[in-house]
């Protein structure tokens, strides 16, 4: 097992992590910006106003993207486990 091989596995792991977390993080970011703009326009500075819509949007995004996220994770894990004999060489 060479250092290039280990770096390749680490790069693939980081790519999978970013792909899996991106939909939920992007939805949370967009909803947070929209709520912040709403607060700036209406001058309502309630700190708890952000949490409920953001939590609901993130939960909806998580439910919507969960099959895709699981498919990516299962494919990565299957490839990792099926190539174990090649890793030992």
For 52-66, write each residue's pLDDT tens digit. 999 999 999 999 999
**In the prediction, which pLDDT does 26 show?**
97
**φ and ψ at residue 49, rounded to 5 degrees:** -65, -30
Element (H, E) at 48: none
For 8-55, write each residue's pLDDT tens digit. 999 999 999 999 999 999 999 999 999 999 988 988 888 788 889 999
Listed as own residue / partner, the contacts of 51-58 with beta carbons closer than 8 Å and 24 or more positions apart are 54/28, 57/27, 57/28, 57/30, 57/31, 58/24, 58/27, 58/28, 58/31
**How far, in Å, CA of 26 to CA of 59, rounded?**
13
Domain positions in the chain are: 3-88
**φ and ψ at residue 43, rounded to 5 degrees:** 60, 30
Q: pLDDT band at residue 68, thresholds of 50, 70 and 90?
A: very high
**In the prediction, which pLDDT does 84 show?**
87
Is 0.75 topped by the overall pTM? Answer: yes
């Amino acid at each position: 097992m060479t250092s290039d091989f280990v770096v390749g596995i680490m790069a693939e792991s980081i790519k999978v992590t970013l792909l899996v977390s991106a939909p939920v993080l992007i939805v949370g970011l967009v909803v947070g910006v929209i709520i912040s703009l709403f607060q700036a326009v209406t001058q309502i500075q309630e700190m708890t106003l952000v949490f409920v819509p953001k939590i609901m949007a993130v939960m909806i995004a998580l439910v919507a993207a969960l099959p895709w996220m699981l498919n990516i994770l299962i494919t990565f894990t299957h490839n990792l486990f099926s190539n174990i004999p090649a890793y030992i060489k």
